[in-house]
Amino acid sequence: MRKSLVLLIAFVLVFFSAVVSLAGAMELFADKLVYDPDDGTITAEGNVNVKGVDMFAEAVKGKASADGSKMELQEKVRIRSIKDPMLIECAKAQAILTEHGRKVTCWEVQRFVHEARGVTMSAEKVVGLLKDGAFENIKATGNVKAQMKDKNKKTVTVTSKSAYYGSKKGTVLFQGEAFAVTEDRTVEADKFTYYLADGKIKAEGSTKTVFILKDQEKE
């Protein structure tokens, strides 16, 4: 039988006013739930689902504090923000409630998707701040690879050591051995800035462009 627990975050918020803006109930569902009164944690195994005011999550197994302020998820993890939908698929994740919002850290990220803007990314590690149901900023590090559409609706693949998404600026900044590859050219630069609103890509610093010439078919 499938079981569920309601983590009453609001009860804790009575004592910790620094996180009052994130008040609300979080539900944890799983095939098996075990509560440890010694450390106040709940271990979940099998078809783990998390439903909260700022995020949804799925995993094979996980562990959470009874007040919902800290959570760890493992194996086939999927995290989706409630607003401005973003989806993260990874091997392991941790979510910690702070006075600034919920800090979400993901490892071995196979796919990070900004659904509204059509940006797909993968990286070794992604750290983001989730506030009021949306990610305010996200930093990806380690073998970053992203695909998006440029202003001409052509697919661009960008690789770099790191990438930073800022919701207020509406940009993704790629830095460190950055390459942008399109159908007809490869551009190397110190950094690239991708503008989500119109698909514009700006190369900065030392740049190098290599054009890809296609063989013409013989008549």
In a domain, 219, yes or no: no
Q: Would you call 172 helix, strand, or coil by DSSP?
A: strand
pLDDT in tens, 126-150: 999 999 889 989 999 999 999 998 8
pLDDT of residue 21: 25
pLDDT in tens, 165-184: 988 888 999 999 999 998 88
In a domain, 23, yes or no: yes
Residue 114 or 57, more confident: 57
Q: Is the pLDDT of residue 14 over 60?
A: no
In a domain, 70, yes or no: yes
| Mean pLDDT, residues 90-99 | 94
The structure's pTM equals 0.82
In a domain, 143, yes or no: yes
In a domain, 216, yes or no: no
Q: Is the pLDDT of residue 85 over 50?
A: yes
In a domain, 197, yes or no: yes
In a domain, 115, yes or no: yes
Give me the domain span that covers residue 195: 3-211
- Are the C-beta atoms of residues 4 and 27 closer than 8 Å to each other? yes
Question: Where on the phi/psi map is residue 84: left (φ > 0), alpha (ψ -120 to 50), or beta?
Answer: left
Q: How many domains does one find in the chain?
A: 1
Cα–Cα distance between 41 and 35 in angstroms, integer?
6
| Mean pLDDT, residues 192-206 | 90
pLDDT in tens, 147-167: 998 888 889 999 999 999 988
